[in-house]
A = this chain, B = another copy of it.
Amino acid sequence: MASNDLAAPMARLVDEFKRLPGVGAKSAQRLAFHLLGIEREKAESLASAIFEMRERIQLCTQCNNIAVDALCPICNDAQRDHGLICVLEQPNNIMVVERTRAYRGVYHILHGALSPLRSIGPEDLKIKSLLERMRDRPVREIILATSPTTEGQATSAYLSRLLKPLEVKVSRIGLGIPIGSELEFVDEATMSESIEGRREL
């Protein structure tokens, strides 16, 4: 080991941190030295939380949300409207919808969005399981709530074409100008979408 290198176990930890998204070389070092400086049991608590999460977390067999049991708490909740499915890209998107307290339906998580650039096609998303659950239980409406990014829009368009022939109402979340923003600063794409999506008062 060259004397100007970090001790091997420290260097390995810095490398592991560098692999995380948004963590650069300097942050990685800062995090590793932070874990050296705090009480050992606190550092090990992070490590064991990682092991425990990978050990215990699975995907809900119905909606592909993260779960500790076969069904996630939402799919397992008889009070929710199982005839209304909100389709999302990622499990953490669920919280954004739940926080509104306005939605009482269930979810379906795709675990991604279509992306020709990154070679992600329909078979890489949890689309087959969406069609299967529609066969198992009557579904009234499917709300496509993928992000209004290029990839999310493409995914929404693809699913719309796929689902419409199945005699289910298919809707897209409202796109437009966010509440609280000044019209002056709205970009062209959002403004067009906002005019197109206007509602009669």
- B-contacting residues of A (Cβ < 8 Å)? 1-10, 12-13, 15-17, 19-22, 27, 29-36, 40, 42-57, 66-68, 72-74, 77, 80, 90-92, 94-95, 98-99
Complexed CA–CA distance, A80 and B4 (Å): 12
Q: How far is the CA of A67 from the CA of B5 in the complex (A)?
A: 11
Give the dominant DSSP class at A's interface. helix
Question: Is A53 a contact of B10 with CB atoms below 8 Å?
Answer: yes
Q: From residue A22, how far is it (CB to closest CB) to chain B in Å?
A: 6
> Judging by beta carbons under 8 Å apart, are B36 and A54 in contact?
yes
| Residue in B10, B35, B95 whose beta carbon sits within 8 Å of that of A6 in the complex | B95
Nearest-neighbor residue (CB-CB) of A69 within chain B = B7
By a CB distance below 8 angstroms, the chain B residues around A91 are: 33, 36
CA distance A1 to B54 in the complex (A): 19
Contacts of A4 in B (CB 8 A): 94-95, 98-99
B3 and A74 form a contact (CB under 8 A)? yes
Additional A-B contact list (11), CB under 8 Å, known A7-B56, A12-B52, A44-B51:
A3-B98, A9-B49, A9-B55, A12-B49, A20-B34, A21-B31, A22-B27, A36-B66, A44-B54, A46-B50, A47-B47
Interchain CB contact under 8 A, B90 and A33: yes
Give A201 to B200 CA distance when docked, in angstroms. Answer: 80
What are 29 A-B interface contacts by the 8 Å CB criterion? A3-B77, A3-B80, A4-B95, A4-B99, A5-B73, A6-B92, A7-B56, A7-B66, A7-B72, A9-B55, A10-B53, A12-B52, A12-B53, A15-B49, A16-B49, A17-B46, A19-B42, A20-B31, A20-B46, A21-B34, A22-B27, A32-B53, A33-B90, A33-B91, A35-B50, A35-B54, A36-B57, A43-B54, A47-B48
